[in-house]
Structure 1
Amino acid sequence: LERFGPRAVAVRETPALLGQADIEGLVRDIADGLAEWDSAAALGDSLDAIIARMACHGSVRSGRVLRVDEMNALLREMERTPHSGQCIHGRPTYVELKKSDIERLFGRTR
């Protein structure tokens, strides 16, 4: 980030870790948080929040179409990642369905 006037910043580059993240939204979220920090303890908590925001903004969002190789890479990474069953906000990242659940969803139960 670089200063780009009295009330603006320029984003020159972003970490590869963020991928196709919503950088504008992330920077706005961080700026909003900066305005609220008033102590070192709050800053430490807020740094954790920034990391969580970066993870969220860098995530695969609803409606994004993934290629098969991207899906497989994501699943392999989830297998290696502790606590990958939920996002930083506590929402599930996947659900496990039994074969009988899928059959019921498609009206194939006997």
Structure 2
Amino acid sequence: MMRTTIPRVCMSRIRTPAFCQSFVTSRPMWGEGDTGAIRPGGAATSDTFNRREQALENMYFKQHEIENLKKMREKLAIQRKQLDEVESHLNDLEQAASQRAAAETQQSK
């Protein structure tokens, strides 16, 4: 008898008791910014682990910036060397052209 009465009670939506409901359709109500990833300010910022983590991140980024600056200085030195070579080549060409012009003016006189 008990076997047939419980399913009949659970069949109707109006008379369905809470223990017969198999799932919940309501969403959890979260406040703004409650994602669990970021800690808010206040007492959490004074945590020793957070301060240490922040210091390590800052140190990593400073080292990364220093490495990038070194690489950029090396590239700049290479480009300056190339520009100096081009400039010396241009100076040689100008000197050769001025010597040819001077030689031609002396021959024409």
What range is the shorter-chain TM-score in? under 0.3
Which one scores higher on RCO, CA 8 angstroms, separation ≥ 6? 1
Q: Greater helix percent: which structure?
A: 2
Give the structure-1-normalised TM-score: 0.23
* Bigger Rg, which one: 2
Give the structure-2-normalised TM-score: 0.23
